[in-house]
Structure 1
């Protein structure tokens, strides 16, 4: 989290240069830099490792949605158990 927009944008750009999907969201007087991860738990663990290697500490999980899986056939999806 940053108070100034320039610092938040610098971190967002750094994350995107590292191949991560990132965006800045304002929350009150601070700007949060959010990293989006789509995939498996293993993918999320890999991103956590990348953030730690960048010296960014431990991320905070804001939202977790179940992953939909393909059922075959006509492309219908169902929620994972």
Structure 2
């Protein structure tokens, strides 16, 4: 799912203005801080943490979870 992902579009859909993915030293996408998410993305994050992939760490979301939320918001099919 991560291969071929349009990270710029994911940022546009999930992040508030000036929000963005955090990247490691080599420039690879790592996560998005919760504070950078739109209200709708925060809702989907809480829903997925509580019902789909339980997780107690909620200060940021991983790339795979961000892509899942992106697909949910864009109404794309996801094989979970």
TM-score (norm 2): 0.31
More helix by share: 2
Quick check: which has more Rg, 1 or 2?
Answer: 1
Q: Which has the higher contact order (CA 8 A, sep 6+)?
A: 2
State TM-score, norm by structure 1.
0.31
Q: Which has the higher strand share?
A: 1
